Structure 1
């Protein structure tokens, strides 16, 4: 009886160890990444996404950025519709599930020649930008959509009661803890760099209580927000009283 119990326990421990190991391996990013232009040189089969009728009827056009891995056999894996930006008649941005699904279905059918490292196939992360343009697919369309732009459309901000507005230089001198942002992997692949401007509210304890994006590339904004939320300042005093202040701050991303 004891022998059977011990054997079952051993099998359970081995199973748990195997599952944990598999999860770690699956979650790891490929050790190699290549630009979209370099990936295009390896592309053998490309399937274009179907334009969803409901999206086309709404006169929505734009770009969808896709992040995926080229597997060792040239197939695609871990495909993710990352972000869509547009210039359109009706909308400043696209974030439409039907568009994303159409793109995912198409990318999964793409086929590449294996990416070689030292003569051996290797898995590599890359990206692609697909354009949805209803004018190109409808000859009755008489005018072109607006020029494509990367746009941030912040929600209207309600000033916080008692908030004192300062400029960036005024709060910079009180900064005691500055966490540098982690450069997003997707932004590196896309060779995206630039500044992100955020409006922050600093509470009476010197902590960043609120953060709102004002401008910047969408691939960089979240990394900037995550870093700035960890910044700390000396408490601000005006007229002998500790106050909460608001200011714009700039986070720079340069490769």
Structure 2
């Protein structure tokens, strides 16, 4: 008795042609949507907000950022715009934020004002902590709470170093300094004389200024006005004692 072989079903053929056609149609649809999107108004920069500037104009920041209303929103990355704005000498930090659709926010932080200086034209200018000179703000001139630099040349490298060191000192500590004059010596090319609003005369060096400022404040808060030297060694002489020493020396000269 012979056994019958089971009937095998033929596997169903996949419709490869239909799938390829569907894939092509989807890709064409996506490409069409992309073209429509990038040519529509929602893919463009519709508003630019800039905040935090004092010494740089909004127009200057926009020009340096090289992006305008109507430009492609995704054409330039936020980091690229930030790098461009950081080339401005007044800018210390910048944050660029994109808010879809169309809003570009630019928040800048400028270097702080650490001193003032009288220009050759007789105008008061402000010095930033990185050495950049800018036009002084009228509001700041009405309340001068920073030292005024006198006797410095524009190309003096010590002045650039001084502004950086002043940037390391707190605003409260800076407020008592009224004037800073260069006073170089062979041992200390960066030596300076500082006059305080509390009537002290301070001889120190730019290189040691931040580390000496706390000791200076301690003397000012506890002693009478006098002359303070803060270099390799620190000394303090009240003006009254200094005047007596000068009088004694003058009397000795007259009796000889």
Higher relative contact order (CA 8 A, sep 6+): 1
Q: As a proportion of its length, which structure holds more helix? A: 2
Q: As a proportion of its length, which structure holds more strand? A: 1
When normalised by structure 1's length, the TM-score is 0.23
**Structure having the higher Rg:** 2
